[in-house]
Amino acid sequence: MQHLRDLKYWSKGLAIFLWSLYLTVYLFLFKQIEPEETNNLKTFIGLAISVLIGGTWWNFITNLYNTPRNYYDHKYFFAALSALLILGSAIWVLSLFPLYNGSDKELYTKFTAAFVLVHMACIFIVPTWMMTRK
């Protein structure tokens, strides 16, 4: 029961949960980008990318789980939290689309395209930066 008083125990558990949640939401959003009409090549490419992303992140989560508590660092928790916040901002931008149903869709499309470029860079750079800090 002594491990329940250890902050690293809770931080590690929350980091694993947050990274798993991030992986689930990210793959769910990626699955929504399927083509409207049947196109086997696009479906295959989408599935291949999902498997690649899922396998890579699942390997990371498994390695994090297997890390002993005395070698665990809280930076994994904060990196997972930053990744979820960045993903949450993407979901927020996508939720703005119904507000532009009749008005300036071109402005929304340009904003979304710019946001996607920034998002794709930040979703990899910010957690990596947080995990490599000393």
Chain CA centroid to CA 30, Å: 11
Q: Count up the domains in the chain and report the number.
A: 1
Chain CA centroid to CA 80, Å: 8
14 vs 19: CA distance, rounded Å: 8
Confidence of residue 66 (pLDDT cuts 50, 70, 90): very high
**94-107 per-position pLDDT tens digit:** 777 776 666 667 77
**9-27 per-position pLDDT tens digit:** 888 999 999 888 888 877 7
Domain range for 33: 2-132
What is the 8-class DSSP label of residue 35? -
Closest residue by Cα to residue 80 from 4, 29, 21, 8: 21
User: Which pLDDT score is estimated for 24?
Assistant: 81
Higher pLDDT, 129 or 41: 129
